[in-house]
């Protein structure tokens, strides 16, 4: 999947959760990605992060980092 598109989609998700008055935005973003993105999309965005993660907004970057750390134990 083209990383620019995934970055764009992830940032859209990020903007929503970051605008919520309470709660942990990175956790909510990571949860949304886990629930709605097929594993190959999650793998691709984690790979993009490992390449430097250009374009990822800060809370999204933090969320993808969580996915990356989980992928140590299970297939993301």
Who's near 40: CB < 8 A, 6+ residues apart? 1
51 near another protein (CB under 8 A): no
**DSSP single-letter state for residue 69:** H
73 near another protein (CB under 8 A): no
Question: At closest approach, how far in Å is the CB of 9 from another protein?
Answer: 7
Is residue 27 within 8 Å of residue 72, measured between CB atoms?
no
Question: At closest approach, how far in Å is the CB of 64 from another protein?
Answer: 16
Question: At closest approach, how far in Å is the CB of 49 from another protein?
Answer: 18
Give the interface segment with another protein, choosing from 7-15, 53-61, 64-72 (CB under 8 A): 7-15
Q: How far apart are CA 8 and CA 28, in angstroms?
A: 17
Instruction: Give the CA count within 13 Å in the CB-facing half-sphere of 37.
Output: 23
Q: Would you tell me which residues interact with another protein (CB under 8 A)?
A: 1-2, 5, 9, 12-13, 15-16, 19-22, 32, 34-41
């Amino acid at each position: 999947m083209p990383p620019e598109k995934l970055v764009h989609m992830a940032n859209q998700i990020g903007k929503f959760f970051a605008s919520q008055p309470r709660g942990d935005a990175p956790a909510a973003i990571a949860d949304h990605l886990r629930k709605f993105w097929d594993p190959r999309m999650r793998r691709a965005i984690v790979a993009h992060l490992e390449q430097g993660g250009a374009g990822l907004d800060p809370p999204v970057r933090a969320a993808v980092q969580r996915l990356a750390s989980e992928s140590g134990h299970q297939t993301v």
